[in-house]
Structure 1
Amino acid sequence: MRHFFGALLLGMATLTVMPTEKVLAATLTGQPPIVIGHRGASGYRPEHTLAAYELAIQMGADYIEPDLVATKDGVLVARHENALAIFNSNGTLNLTDTSTDVYERPEFADRLTTKVIDGRSITGWFTEDFTLAELKTLRAIERIPAIRPQNTQYNGLFEIPTLQEIIDLAKEQSSLLGRTIGIYPETKHPTYFDSIGLSMEEILVDVLNANGYVDQDAPVFIQSFEVSNLKDLRQLTNVPLVQLLSAGGQPYDFTVSGVPTTYRDLATPLGLAEIATYANGIGANKNLIIPRDSQGNLLSPTTLVKDAHEAGLIVHAWTFRDENVFLPANLQGNPQEEYRLFYQTGIDGLFTDNPDTAVAVRSTLFPSSTSVPEPGTMFALGIVPLFGLLFRRRK
C-alpha cells in the first residue's frame, strides 16, 4: 500500500479540463442518475429529521442520506456532526454547527465540554456523552437559520432519529409509494469514534443485516470520507461502498497514520484504481467534476467522471442547493441549469437539499426517470409529512 501511495505522489496528474459538451454522457449503470435527499429535504425542513426525510421521498428522491454518529450507549443516530451545539471562541453560539436545543436545557449544562475532533478543538455538547433516551428529549433546530430562516418555524418539533427509525420510514414509504426508497448512510468521524471505544462499523452492519441489507443489490450505499473504515466495512458486508472525495485536504485516517495522499490524489486514475479495490463508487465534491474559476463561475468539466467510470466506479456528486449563496456566480437564480450541466457529465447520481428541483430537471433529460409530482401537490407534500410525523405513534 505504501508503495502505491509513493508512486502516486511521484506520478500524480492534475485534473485536466475538456471542452464543454452539450451531449448527455452515459451513466455507468445505463440508468438515469439517482437523486439523494441530502440529510432529507433539508432545504425545506431542519436536516436529519424524519420530516425532512419523508418530504424528500415525497418529492421524488430515490435515496435518503443520514449522517451517522454514536450515542453513549452505542446507538447510531442521524446528526451532521457528533456536536449537538457549539460555542465560538468568543462565547457566542455557533449558528452553523448547532442542530439541537441542548444549549437551552439546564439539565444538561454539565455536559458542556471541550474536545478535539479530527484535529479541531470544539466546545459544545456531543452525542457520545448522551444515552439515546437523553437524546430523545432534545429537539432539532435549523442549522443554518441565516440562510434558511423559513425552516426555523419547525424548530422544536422533531426528535433526533435513529438509523432504525430512518430505515423503518424508508420501508414504509416504499410500500406506500410502490417504489424502492434506499438509504445512504455516512459514517462520521470513524477514527475518533474508534478512539473512544465506539466503533461504528460493527454497529452499522448489525443494523443493516437485521433489516435485510446484506448484498450488492440492497438499496443502500455506505459512504465515508475516511479510507480505513471503508476497508474494514468491506470485510464485514457486501453492500455497496462509496469513497467520499473532498476538493481539498486528505482523509483524516491518513493524517493520523502519516500517509501524505490527498483527496485530489485519489481523484487521479491511479487513485481511482486503488479505490476500486475496496469501494463501488466515489462521492465527489462537485468542484472536482466541474471546477469554478476565481470569480466563482463554472468552467469546463474535468475528466473525473470518465476516469471513474473507466475504473468501474459510479460517481455521485455533492452537494446541490438552490440558494444563490451556494450557486456558481454565473448561475445565480438558476439552480436548474447547474443540475443540467452536471447531469450532462454522466454522473450516476447527486446529493441535493432540494430533491424537487433535482427530480424536475432529471425528468426533462431522462424521460424514463421518476416523474415530478403533479402540479398543485407541493402544498400537500409540505403539510402531510409534517403532521403525519408529529402524530405518528412511536414504535
Structure 2
Amino acid sequence: MSVRGRIILLFTVFNIVIVIVRPFDDVIKLGRRGPDDCKPVVVAHRGASGYVPEHTLGAYALAITMGGDYVEPDLVMTSDGHLISRHENELSHTCDVATRLEFADRYSTKNVSGRIVKGWFSEDFTLAEIKTLRAVEPLPLIRPGNARLDKAYEIPTFQEIIDLVKALEVSENRTIGIYPELKNGLYFQRLGLAMEEKVVEIFHKNGYIGKNAPVYIQSFEVSNLKKLKKMTNLRLLQLYTVSRNQPFDQAELGTGLTYLKMATAEGLANVAEYAEAVGPEKSYIIPRNFLNNLGSPTRFVKNAHAVGLQVHPWTFRAENVYLPKEFQSKGSLFGFGDLEGEIKVFLAAGIDGLFVDQPDILIRIRGQCKN
C-alpha cells in the first residue's frame, strides 16, 4: 500500500516503531474525537490571534491547547513556490520587513486582485529570505499584549503547520482540523504561482484525502474552488464578504455573479454543487442597524441548510471595537466586551461553527467535548 495519501499511525513496541497505513476514509477512530464531533465547530481564526500574533506557530499551538477544533492559516506564495502563512501577500503589517535595510529595494506598488497596494510582497521573496523575517502583531493599538511578542516568531510554512498539528494530536489525544484559505488565487495563478495544486499535493502527501479528512479549503473566489472540486475530495468552503460586490475572479470573467446573488436560496444551491460549507461575513446572518445593534436574522442559514451546506460565519472578536453596541463593555474600545453574548445570539440563529480570535471563549460556551 502506498504511503502517499494515507494516515500513518505510529505505535512503539519494545522501542520498535510499527507503521500502520490506512486511508482517511477507512481509519478507525481509535477512541479519540475529531474536529467535527462537537458543535459548534471552533475555528481558531489565524490561530489564537486574540492572544498571540496571528499566523505563528505560537498562535496555532495556543489555539489547539485551548481546545480549538480547527486552526485556520491564510496561505500565500513565495517566489520559489512555497506556501507560507500570512493574511495577505503584502508583508509589512505582519512582519519586520519594513525595518530590514537589505530588503529596502523590494518595496513596490502592485495591483493585487483589483486593489492598489504598496509594500513588500511574498512573491518577491524566496523562502530562505522569508525565514529571516520575524512576525509582528498587525493590530498593536488594539492588542498591545500581542505586540509584546513582536519578533518572537518566524513566518511558518504550510508544512510546518501540518507538522505542528500532527504533533499536538498526540498530546491532545484528538484529531485537529486544518482550515486553510487561499488568498488571491487568480492573482497568484497569473504570476505562475498557482496555489491550488500545491495545497492539494501537500495535503495528500500528508495523508489528508477524502471527505472524512479533517480539512476545509476556503476561498473568496469561485473558479479556484470549482477547479479544486475536480482535483480532490477534500471539503471546500465558499467565503462571502460585504467589502466587494463580486468575487475578483468573477469580475475578471465578466460573469455578473455577485456575493448577494450567491447568498440567495438559488445561489446557495449553486454553491452546494461544489462546496460543503459556506463562510459568510456575520452581517449575512444577522445585520446591524444604524445604531450598531444587531437586527433580526436573515434566511441565510435556513437556505444554506436546506441545500446541505454547513454555515461557519466570520469573524468573532472580543474587543469592544468589533462588537455590536449592546455587547460592548464600558471603558476602552479595545477592552473585552461580552463576546459570549454575541456568539449566543448567532448560535440561536442556527450556525454550525464560527471563526473566532479567542477560541477559549467559544469553548467555554460550548463546554469541553469528551474524547
1:268-319 alpha-carbon deviations (Å, 9 max, x no partner): 0000010011111100111111110011100111111111000110100100
In structure 1, how many angstroms separate the alpha carbons of the residues matched to 2:348 and 2:197? 38
Selected match of 1:269 from 265, 290, 304? 265
* Structure 1 residue aligned with 2:250: 254
Is the CA contact (8 Å cut-off) linking 1:317 and 1:350 kept in structure 2?
Answer: yes
Work out whether 1:314 is the aligned partner of 2:310. yes
State the Cα distance separating 1:109 from its structure 2 match.
Answer: 0.9
* Structure 1 residue aligned with 2:19: none
State the Cα distance separating 1:197 from its structure 2 match.
Answer: 0.4
In structure 2, how many angstroms separate the alpha carbons of the residues matched to 1:265 and 1:296? 25
TM-score, normalized by length of structure 2?
0.86
Question: What SS does the aligned partner of 2:43 have?
Answer: strand
* Structure 2 residue aligned with 1:292: 288
* Structure 1 residue aligned with 2:369: 370
**Segments of 4+ moved more than 3 angstroms:** none
Question: What SS does the aligned partner of 2:189 have?
Answer: helix
Work out whether 1:360 is the aligned partner of 2:358. no
In structure 2, how many angstroms separate the alpha carbons of the residues matched to 1:229 and 1:127? 20
Selected match of 1:218 from 213, 216, 236? 213
State the Cα distance separating 1:247 from its structure 2 match.
Answer: 2.7
Selected match of 1:107 from 99, 102, 106? 102
| Residue identity matched to 1:36 | V
Is the CA contact (8 Å cut-off) linking 1:214 and 1:238 kept in structure 2?
Answer: yes
Is the CA contact (8 Å cut-off) linking 1:226 and 1:251 kept in structure 2?
Answer: yes
Selected match of 1:133 from 128, 131, 142? 128
State the Cα distance separating 1:130 from its structure 2 match.
Answer: 0.5
State the Cα distance separating 1:360 from its structure 2 match.
Answer: 0.6
> After the TM superposition, which residues 103-252 of structure 1 pair with which residues of structure 2 at under 5 Å, given as runs?
103-248=98-243, 249-252=245-248
1:94-128 alpha-carbon deviations (Å, 9 max, x no partner): xxxx0000011111111111111011111110000
Is the CA contact (8 Å cut-off) linking 2:327 and 2:338 kept in structure 1?
Answer: yes
| Residue identity matched to 2:362 | A
In structure 2, how many angstroms separate the alpha carbons of the residues matched to 1:216 and 1:335? 32
| Residue identity matched to 1:58 | T
Indicate the percent of aligned positions where both proteins have the same amino acid: 54
In structure 1, how many angstroms separate the alpha carbons of the residues matched to 2:49 and 2:230? 33
* Structure 2 residue aligned with 1:374: none
Question: What SS does the aligned partner of 1:32 have?
Answer: coil
Is the CA contact (8 Å cut-off) linking 2:38 and 2:369 kept in structure 1?
Answer: no
* Structure 1 residue aligned with 2:47: 40
State the Cα distance separating 1:370 from its structure 2 match.
Answer: 2.4
Q: How many matched pairs?
A: 326
In structure 2, how many angstroms separate the alpha carbons of the residues matched to 1:154 and 1:173? 22
* Structure 2 residue aligned with 1:383: none
Is the CA contact (8 Å cut-off) linking 1:227 and 1:243 kept in structure 2?
Answer: yes
Question: What SS does the aligned partner of 1:84 have?
Answer: coil
In structure 2, how many angstroms separate the alpha carbons of the residues matched to 1:177 and 1:334? 29
For the structure 1 residues 58 and 31, does the alpha-carbon distance in structure 2 shift closer, same or farther, using more than 3 Å as the test? closer
State the Cα distance separating 1:31 from its structure 2 match.
Answer: 5.0
> After the TM superposition, which residues 322-341 of structure 1 pair with which residues of structure 2 at under 5 Å, given as runs?
322-332=318-328, 333-341=337-345
Is the CA contact (8 Å cut-off) linking 1:46 and 1:154 kept in structure 2?
Answer: yes
Q: Which one has more relative contact order, counting CA pairs under 8 Å at least 6 apart?
A: 1
Is the CA contact (8 Å cut-off) linking 1:140 and 1:156 kept in structure 2?
Answer: yes
| Residue identity matched to 1:72 | S
Is the CA contact (8 Å cut-off) linking 2:134 and 2:151 kept in structure 1?
Answer: yes
Q: Which has the higher helix share?
A: 1
In structure 2, how many angstroms separate the alpha carbons of the residues matched to 1:250 and 1:50? 33
State the Cα distance separating 1:30 from its structure 2 match.
Answer: 8.9
* Structure 1 residue aligned with 2:331: none
TM-score, normalized by length of structure 1?
0.81
* Structure 2 residue aligned with 1:349: 353
1:243-264 alpha-carbon deviations (Å, 9 max, x no partner): 0011352110011111222111
* Structure 1 residue aligned with 2:70: 63
In structure 2, how many angstroms separate the alpha carbons of the residues matched to 1:274 and 1:156? 44
* Structure 2 residue aligned with 1:304: 300
Is the CA contact (8 Å cut-off) linking 1:343 and 1:362 kept in structure 2?
Answer: no
| Residue identity matched to 1:73 | D
| Residue identity matched to 2:221 | E
Report the aligned-residue RMSD: 1.2
